[in-house]
Amino acid sequence: MTSNPLAPSWLAVPSDANALAPRVWSHNSLRDLSGELVIGGVSASAIAAQFGTPVYVVDEADARSRARGIRLSFDREFARVGGRAKVYYAGKAFLSIEVARWMNEAGLNIDVASGGELAVALAAGVDPAHLGLHGNNKSPAEIDRAVSIGIGAIVIDSEIEIARVAAAAAHHGRRQSVRLRINSGVHASTHEYLATAREDQKFGIPLVDAAALVALIRAEPALEFLGLHSHIGSQIFESSGFAEAARRLLALHAELLADGPVPELNLGGGFGIAYTSVDEPLSIDEIAARFADIVSEGAAELGIPVPVVAIEPGRSIIGPSTTTLYTVGTIKDVLVAGTAVRKYVSVDGGMSDNIRPSLYRAEYSVRLANRSSTAPAELVRIAGKHCESGDIVVHADYLPGDVASGDLVGVPATGAYGWAMASNYNYLGRPPVVAVVDGLARIIVRGETEEDLLRRDAGVRVGSAKGAQS
């Protein structure tokens, strides 16, 4: 079959529209002998029958393996250069009590960015000393709670927070470890909304102001300066941005050593993953080796010891582990510009369970999940059911042309910022999150029903929600 002229230039017609690209799907995703998608030993149709659709399906063994793997890679590579690494899981990507436990059991610390995320980590039994609190506008209540429980580190994001954290620490009789987030000015190669270290930015302190703020931190008896923090963005495929950010922060790190200890350097996260068959992110082993070389060589040039380096992966751990299953509803062929046909395949979810394609035109892949097919591949656009023309789940991919109403489709790599950014738009309940492992499936986050949504509406009178679905 020839390519559809409406297809993006990067998207080739697949030789097999049933094949699962290994980089994109979780490690324990495959097709069984009947051609059905099986994840963690559980078939797509069995998952849909038990939990309904849409449903986020987390390959538990895959998520745990990625967490352990990134810790072991960074431990090994920094030991090679005479240093040490600390790995924090970036909870903002997706955090539930079960996931927090998995990360804790894999030996990772956890970053949280709100009081709610902090509550989840504590409910999972994570030692507060293994937590870090982020955020450009942490409330006094969030700061006070974090200090009161003995959180391991708080990231200072603006000058006003120095006094707030110091006051909370003094009130609770603690000496609070803090990092100072630096806006390095490095422009990461990613979407504008995912780049977090440009000059016109809400995050961090400009490099030129950093030394003065570190002096203010050191002047507070209730604060302990742990080191600098940098995060240049997300979904980054190359290492040059990290290298430049590390170079700039190491120079400042060396300068600050003249007036006191600077035990750590946090270089953040943002490692990219494959969402489509053409994406080629660096492997974790490659990333760890490059980080270790960048930091050790930079430290040697400056004549300083290799600091303890902290990193904050989130997407690269949980993203590839998760697939969202949908049920196909309507299908229509749309003639575009009178020359080519785009097949719109609408599903029972959309921007309420994955806002990323609408928010910054993120690309995803799709495959039939309940069966395989020998029908010729056709270009499809997977659309959601919401009242927005921008409600698209997959902008472009190929499916067998006999895709039909009632089929299940799977969209892989939805673990990061799917459930975490989900909404109740059009009054849809957020889908459940199901973990699969060794042929067993269990809910780790319950889905929402209409009854759940109505329960929050203060206008509901007794008995008026009788007809709501449960």
Q: Spell out the per-residue pLDDT of the chain, length 470, in tens.
A: 567 999 999 999 999 999 999 999 999 999 999 999 999 999 999 999 999 999 999 999 999 999 999 999 999 999 999 999 999 999 999 999 999 999 999 999 999 999 999 999 999 999 999 999 999 999 999 999 999 999 999 999 999 999 999 999 999 999 999 999 998 776 554 434 334 444 667 788 999 999 999 999 999 999 999 999 998 766 665 667 778 888 899 999 999 999 999 999 999 888 889 999 999 998 999 989 999 999 999 999 999 999 999 999 999 999 999 999 999 999 999 999 888 999 999 999 999 999 999 998 999 999 999 999 999 999 999 999 999 999 999 999 999 999 999 999 999 999 999 999 999 999 999 999 999 999 999 999 999 999 999 999 999 876 655 555 54
Q: Are 340 and 6 in contact (CB under 8 A)?
A: yes
pTM value is 0.93
148-156 long-range contacts, Cβ below 8 Å, gap at least 24?
148/172, 149/122, 150/174, 151/118, 151/176, 152/109, 152/128, 152/177, 153/177, 153/178, 153/179, 153/226, 154/178, 154/179, 155/179, 155/180, 155/181, 155/229, 156/180, 156/181, 156/213, 156/217
Number of Cβ within a 10 Å radius of residue 212: 10
Catalytic residue among 208, 258, 335, 387: 387
Length of the chain, please?
470
Answer yes or no: 64 catalytic.
Answer: no
Q: Are 359 and 422 in contact (CB under 8 A)?
A: no
Quote the DSSP letter at residue 134. -
Identify any residues that bridge with 437 across adjacent strands, giving them in sequence order.
440
Number of Cβ within a 10 Å radius of residue 163: 12
Quote the DSSP letter at residue 81. T
Q: Are 269 and 314 in contact (CB under 8 A)?
A: yes
Residue of 276, 264, 283, 327 whose CA lies nearest to 10: 276
